[in-house]
Structure 1
Amino acid sequence: MMHRARILAHSSTFIALIAAGSWLSIPLPPVPITLQTLFILLAGIVMKRYAAIPVTLFVLLGAAGLPVFHNGTAGLGVLLGPTGGFLVGFIPAAVIVGLAYERQSKACRVGGLLAATFVTYLFGVSWLAWSASLSPAQAVLLGVAPFVVGEVVKVAAAYVIGERVA
C-alpha cells in the first residue's frame, strides 16, 4: 500500500513541477525554451520506470484543456502543433531515464539521461518537420540548435541532483 501512496504523491508532485517548468519559458518560435525537460529527467530519476505515470498524465491533462503546456497553453491543438512531438516525446524519455536509474552504473545513468534527451528531440524534430512542412535540416535548426547548451546544463543538473536523491 505504501508503494502506491508514494507513486501517487510523487506523481502529483511531478505533474505540478512539469507544469511549473512550462511557465518558466523563453518564447522562441516555433518551440519555446522551458524547464519541463529538467523535471521530466528528475521524474525518471526519482520514480524510475513509474515516471511514465505523471508524464503521461501531464500530457493528457494538457490535451484535456488544463493550461499546463508552455505559457499556459492547452488542448489538442498544442499537441497537433509544432511542439506536440516534444510533449509526446517526454513520455518515452521519462521511461528511459527511469530504467537507466534502476541500474547502479553511473555510465548507464548518464547514458539514460542523454538517450532520453535524444528521444525527446527525435520525437520533437520529427513532428516539427511534418507539422510545419520543414525539411529535416530546417527542423533541426529550429528545434534543436537553440537548445543544445541549455539541454547540456539540464542534463548535468539532473545528474547532480539525481546523485543526491536517487
Structure 2
Amino acid sequence: MTAQKIKTRDMTFIAVFAAVLAVLSQLAIPMPSGVPITLQTFALALIGYTLGAKRGAIAVLVYLLLGAVGVPVFANFKAGAAALLGPTGGFLWAFWLAALFCGLKRDAGPLPALASGFLGLLVLYAAGVFQFILLTGNGLVEAVLMCVAPFVIKDVLSIVLGYFLAQQIRRRLPL
C-alpha cells in the first residue's frame, strides 16, 4: 500500500509540473529566428531541481508527448510533428535533458547543482542549434546569434532562480 501512495504521489507531481511547463510555455514573445522568448528554461530548471533527475525528465517527456499528439502545449499554442521536426524542434527534443541535468546534482549544494544545470543548458543549446542549422542551412555563427545569444542572460537567470525557488518548494512539499 505504501508503494501505491508513493507512486500516486509521484504521478501527481509529474503531472502538475508538466502542466506548469505547458503554462509557462505560453508566455512567449516571438523572435525573428522562430525561437520565442519564453519561461520554458525557468520551468525546466524548476522541474529538475524540484523533482530530481528521473521524475523531472519524466514530467518533461509527458509534456513532449502531449505536444506530439496534438495538444497545443508548446510555445504559442503549437503542437504536433511540425513543431518537433521544424527548425526550432531541437530545443524541444532536448528539454528533458535540461531538466535531467538540473536534477542530477540538486542535493549536492548550490555550486554543483547550478553547474549541472548550466551543462544541461549547453546541451539544450547544442541540440537546438544543430537542428536549426540542418533545417535552415544557416551557418553555426548565424544560428548561435539567432537562437542562443538573445537568450543567454535570461536562461542563466532562469537556471539560478529555478534552483532557489525549487529549494523553497522542496522545504514545503513532501517530495
Show the counterpart of 2:173.
none
2:79 aligned counterpart, secondary structure = coil
Instruction: State the Cα distance separating 1:117 from its structure 2 match.
Output: 1.2
- Cα RMSD of the aligned pairs, angstroms, is 1.2
Task: Note if 1:72 corresponds to 2:61.
Answer: no
In terms of Rg, which structure is larger? 2
Contact 2:56 2:103 in 1 (8 A): yes
Is 1:161 aligned with 2:149? no
1:16-31 correspondence to structure 2 within 5 Å = 16-29=19-32, 30-31=34-35
Query: CA contact under 8 A between 2:20 and 2:43: conserved in structure 1?
Result: yes
Give 1:136's match in structure 2, choosing from 129, 132, 140.
Answer: 140
Counterpart Cα distance in 1 of 2:51 and 2:163: 14
Q: What are the ranges of 5 or more consecutive residues in structure 1 without an aligned counterpart?
A: none
Aligned length: 165
Query: What is the identity, as a one-letter code, of the residue corresponding to 2:162?
Result: A
1:22-71 Cα distance to aligned partner (Å, 9 max, x none): 11000002210111111111111111122111101111110111000111
Match of 1:127 among 131, 153, 167: 131
Q: Unaligned regions of 5+ residues in structure 2, if any?
A: 171-175
TM-score, structure 2 length as denominator? 0.89
Question: 2:111 maps to which residue?
Answer: 107
Amino acid paired to 1:45: Y
In structure 2, what is the Cα distance between the partners aligned to 1:22 and 1:106?
Answer: 26
Identity across aligned pairs (percent)? 36
> Matches of 1:59 and 1:97 in 2, distance apart?
18
Q: How far off is 1:93 after superposition?
A: 1.1
Q: Which amino acid aligns with 1:23?
A: Q
The equivalent of 1:54 in structure 2 is: 59
Look up the equivalent residue of 1:119 and give its one-letter code: V
CA shift, 1:154, in A, is 0.9
Partner amino acid for 2:167? E
CA distance in 1, matches of 2:100, 2:24: 19
Distance 2:43 2:36 in 1: 16
Q: Is the partner of 1:33 in helix, strand or coil?
A: coil
Looking at structure 2, the residues matched to 99 and 152 of structure 1 have their Cα atoms a distance apart, in angstroms, of 17
Q: 2:121 pairs with 117, 132, 135, which one?
A: 117
- CA deviations 1:78-135 (Å, max 9, x no partner) are 111111000011011111111111x323221111111111111111111111111111
Look up the equivalent residue of 1:143 and give its one-letter code. Answer: C
How far has the Cα of 1:13 moved from its partner? 0.9
Letter in structure 2 aligned against 1:164 = Q
